[in-house]
Amino acid sequence: MGRCAALFVLALVLGMTLAPLRATLSAQTARTGSVPTDPLARALDAEDKGERARAAEAYKEVVLQVLAAGATDGDRLAVAMLGLERVWFEQGALDSIVPMVRRVLQRRPTDPTAHQIHLRTLVSMRRDDEARTAFQLWRRANANDGAPYREYARLLMQQGRNLAADSLLQEATRTLGAAGAVTGETAQLHVSLGRWDAAARAYREALTDQPWLETAALYGMQRAPAAARDSIRAVLEAPPAQLARRRLLSSLELAWSEPRRAWQVMAALPPDDSTLAAWRAFGERTESGEHWSVAAEAWAAVFAQRGDLESQRRAADARLRSGDAASALSVLRSTPPVPTRGPRDTTSERTRRRALLPLEIAALGEAGRVAEAQAVLDREHGNLDEVTRAALTRPLVNAWLRVGEVERARRAMSETDLQDDDEIAGALALYDGDLATARRRLVRASTQRTELVDALGLLARVRLDRSPALGRAFLAFARRDSASAAKQFAALADSVGAAAPAVLAISARLGTRDAAPAVWDRIVTQYPASPEAPEALLSWARLQLARGDKAGARVHLERLLVDYTGSALAPQARRELERLKGTVPPVATFPAATLSRVHGRPIASHFARLPA
């Protein structure tokens, strides 16, 4: 694989030479209908057709012609030698490459392509003594160049001969000095040997002059064990703060699932143009990873420097997605600062307000200030065209539904096409108790609202087509009346058949801590085969631990592990039990999750995959 990669890189370097030649070849072939007379063109034509023997003869002819003419055409010679290496390698004739390359080196002793092919071929053939001699020959021909060391070290590492590469790079350091051109290879070697602190120091040095190594550094060092990460942080954070080093450490922190630390590393940089570009890239990356609170800080930092509409919008959107509607409103209503660097944003106040209006309405709805959201929309009504008004109606209707104001939502959506929106229509049907319609519409909606995701999981197990009582329970849930909703869900357990443990689990999550144990006991006692039973035991144990009842917690954890060995919650229970005993396993066997969520989604959303 390493040999193929090296050939590919060299082919790219020579691409500008080959492109005109191939164009000439195509034009000549099209014009005359015959094979061209130029041997290099014939070689390329034969190689394209898979005629390796004919290609090898033509490439060899080119080499001999250039040597006979004084060996002055280096580009043509390089193309021919690489072609010979390719076709002879594919034919298994590596032995034929060495004498031809040595003949070239007699006429061109400093030719880098010939030296690379010579060394690469001997290493591939495991002719170690000759390879060392070839390296020494190249080094003497280019005394102050790090290329011989870099190429030889890469070849050795590709073969897994890390100790030999280590000795070679130490020799390079002694010969070329500590600031020589082999720090990138030294860093890669340290990574392969697990020398994480040394690798970080080598990459820190290499990135100063070789910023393109940042990707390789990230790929290698993200595998560092947790015990070595503080050392890597100390090396890369050491002053002076330099963008490439900080960006590398920030990427490593994201790879190590530390988005907050990743932003702190970037935030410490002085806000020049390069830093602002890096902050924008960081904001986009954390948006993709759905680290919304961190993304909001990155975009807020850009907005504080530039005052542009895009960063303001994205900062507010990220705040809203992180659940902080109040902060989102603060960002939306803040006055754009005068930019400290770069051109001033020329967006008019009216354009900016119209662009931010949907987010403002959504944020007001999330904050429970729906009447204010309606007032904002009414105030701006005359300044909006019909399409914009229709687009703004959706977040307003959703806001009314989030607070359970069904009639206000219906009035807001009148004279719009929101009746075709699956999420809104499904929510209205649910609150009306029309379970059949709610089930059909919500399953097509890509909703993120907790109560609707819970409802979808529950509807998959409820066989009723209508239940006004269940609709009222979910309406109380939407209105954030947790106490009333908990009581209503608990009262429904005897009327929903196989979905009884699911409604009881919702009741336990919404109710008070004092009322929850009785509900969990009912789930475990009456519905021991349900998926909610192990959840109830784990929740019960955690509540007891919080209250200091270690003996009671241990009983429930041990029961979960004995009776529900195959449960997805068993690894969490095992870890809780080990913590209770005073020994925590070094590696969690199941990703940490909150009680009510698995894989980032509410547990009830997984019910749809379970048989009723």
Q: What is the mean pLDDT of residues 139-157?
A: 76
Q: Does the pLDDT of residue 198 top 90, yes or no? A: no
Helices marked H in 443-492:
450-459, 468-478, 482-491
Q: How confident is the model at residue 597, as a pLDDT?
A: 41
Helix (H, G, I), strand (E, B) or coil at 510: helix
pLDDT digit string, tens, across residues 40-63: 888 888 888 888 888 888 888 888
75 in Cβ contact with 14 (< 8 Å): yes
Q: Which of 590, 586, 555, 585 is nearest to 571 (CA)?
A: 590
Locate tokens 């002085």: which residue? 270
pLDDT of res. 331: 93
Give me the percent of the chain exceeding a pLDDT of 70.
85
Q: How far is CA 445 from CA 214, 369, 448, 580, 607, in A?
A: 41, 25, 9, 42, 17
Residue 479: which of 569, 406, 374, 556 has the closest Cα?
406
pLDDT in tens, 68-101: 877 777 788 888 888 888 888 888 887 888 888 8
Alpha helical stretches, state H, 92-146:
97-107, 112-124, 128-141
Ordered DSSP codes for 187-252? HHHHHHTT-HHHHHHHHHHHHHH-GGGHHHHHHHHTT--HHHHHHHHHHHHSSSP-HHHHHHHHHH
Residue 564, CA distances (Å) to 500, 533, 557, 558 in order: 19, 9, 10, 10
Q: Which CATH number fits domain 421-609: 3.40.50.410, 1.25.40.10, 3.30.390.50, 1.20.210.10?
A: 1.25.40.10
**CA 238 to CA 233: how far, in whole Å?**
8
Categorize the per-residue pLDDT at 346 as very low, low, confident or very high, splitting at 50, 70 and 90. confident
Q: What is the pLDDT of residue 481?
A: 84
φ/ψ of 467, rounded to 5, equals: -160, 90
CB 102 within 8 A of CB 114: no
144-148, 240-244, 535-539 — which is least confidently predicted? 144-148
Q: What is the largest CA-CA distance in the chain?
A: 99
Sign of CA pseudo-dihedral 297, 300, 302, 304:
negative
- N-terminal to C-terminal alpha carbon distance within the chain: 52
- Better pLDDT: 375 or 21: 375
Retrieve residue 492's tokens.
């429904």
In three-state secondary structure terms, 434 is strand
582: left (phi over 0), alpha (psi -120 to 50) or beta: left
Nearest to 366 by CA among 327, 414, 311, 421: 327
pLDDT tens sequence across 464-506 = 889 999 989 988 888 888 899 899 999 998 888 888 999 899 9
Q: Tens of pLDDT along 209-265?
A: 788 888 888 988 999 999 999 999 999 999 888 899 999 999 999 999 999 999 999
| Whole-number Å distance between alpha carbons of 453 and 474 | 11
Reported as half-sphere exposure (CB side, CA atoms, 13 A), residue 566 has a value of 3
Q: Which residue has the higher pLDDT, 415 or 441?
A: 441
Alpha helices in 238-385 (DSSP H): 243-255, 259-267, 273-288, 292-306, 309-321, 325-332, 349-366, 370-380
Choice between 224 and 338, residue whose per-residue pLDDT is larger? 224
Rounded CA gap, 537 and 561, in Å?
10
Whether the per-residue pLDDT at 2 is higher than 50: the answer is no
Alpha carbon distances (Å) from 485 to 452, 473, 480: 14, 5, 8
